[in-house]
Chain A
């Protein structure tokens, strides 16, 4: 079975541009969450979606947005990119939401470099 798949794997953008990152969860999983991992740090929670509804939002500016589609895949959008947005963006899926330790499975991430 395929795991969590993310695209693109690497991309370079310039400041002020917009980026869209995509994620396909494990088949049967209805929850998708997004994390930002800056070099040398642990992942920071950005969003969680379950059954196409936003169920959680981390401490990120409004430039960050996301959505989940009927097939449970998801997009993360970042507008007006800043140099500080350079990071590995991780998508994770689980059967349900992050409920009482429900196991989440991570994709390999999308490396975003903003120049």
Chain B
């Protein structure tokens, strides 16, 4: 079974500093990769996704993630964070192994809490 590891449960950082949230997965087949963000008391929102093509994907609010097949990683980065980026970030992966009933079911990591200090 595939698994997703988010190595850091909490990442504190000062405003305007760069940040990297790490995500590794275990799968030997082609994968689809996602980052979701969850603000306090809200549901999950898709931040960005990798399906195929360019290994570097970007979101509209300055985040980017790079798919590294050899290291089975999909780390999320932002060069300069804002207070409003404080949230829980979840990495998710789906692949053909997790396909059930015709659907690809994503497996989520445990989440990384990004805490941006002023």
Task: Report whether B42 and A108 are in contact in the complex, using a CB–CB cutoff of 8 Å.
Answer: yes
Task: Report whether A42 and B109 are in contact in the complex, using a CB–CB cutoff of 8 Å.
Answer: yes
Q: Is the interface of B mostly helix, strand, loop or mixed?
A: strand
Beyond known contacts A48-B103, A48-B105, A50-B103: 16 more, CB 8 A cutoff: A40-B111, A42-B110, A42-B111, A43-B90, A45-B105, A45-B106, A50-B101, A55-B103, A56-B103, A56-B105, A90-B44, A92-B44, A99-B103, A108-B41, A108-B42, A109-B43
Task: Report whether A55 and B109 are in contact in the complex, using a CB–CB cutoff of 8 Å.
Answer: no
- Which chain B residues lie closer than 8 Å to A57 at the CB level? 100
On B, residues with C-beta under 8 Å from A are 4, 32, 34, 36, 41-46, 49, 51, 90, 92, 94, 100-111
Please tell me the number of chain A residues within 8 Å of chain B, measured between CB atoms.
30
Chain B, Cβ-Cβ closest to A108: B43
